[in-house]
Amino acid sequence: MSSSVTSPSGAWMDYADFNRTAPEVSTALRALAMAVEKSGLEKDLTELLKIRASQMNGCAFCTQFHLNAARKLQVPADKLDLVAVWQDSPVFSPRERAALEWTEQLTEMPRGGATRDAYAALQDQFGSSEIAFLTAAIANINAWNRIAAGLRFTPPRRDA
């Protein structure tokens, strides 16, 4: 066991070390991500949700990781620039707004769970199956945020 608390980069454990140390956890979280990916939800939408939750949770690694993924999917730059203030920006569709509100509700998780209004808005834009997978996507990124921010993973390069 190392006597150093952090690596030279400031990470307590990096992503590769975590995957080597806890491969079953990584495998389980990736399996959940694959289930969401196969659900038919739009990949650009799920990347926006992952970015927003990661911003809220202060997870630099996941924010950068999902910004990189969103850029590869050619998510418009104005959406990436404004996702942190989506409520005040006209660039998001009603579907994206409902999903982003649901993301914030589940990430902040107020006592008693998400609000009825947020769920009603979600139902206006998504079917039951989509809601289930959207909820799973948000739960998954929140789990990764707690791992990556908790262990201070070093963010990947922008072009990674």
Contact 69, 47 (CB under 8 A): yes
Bigger pLDDT: 109 or 88? 88
Domain boundaries, the chain: 15-149
Output the pTM of the full model: 0.90
Give the 3-state secondary structure of residue 143.
helix
How high is the pLDDT of residue 11? 78
At the topology level, CATH places domain 15-149 in AhpD-like (1.20.1290)
Q: What is the mean pLDDT of the chain?
A: 92
How high is the pLDDT of residue 109? 87
How high is the pLDDT of residue 1? 44
How high is the pLDDT of residue 104? 96
120's tokens = 């009603």
76's tokens = 């418009």
Per-residue pLDDT reduced to its tens digit, 18-64: 999 999 999 999 999 999 999 999 999 999 999 999 999 999 999 99
Per-residue pLDDT reduced to its tens digit, 116-155: 999 999 999 999 999 999 999 999 999 999 999 999 999 9
63's tokens = 């924010």
CA distance 43 to 75: 9
The percent helix, strand, coil of the chain (3-state, each to 5) is: 70, 0, 30
CA distance 104 to 99: 9
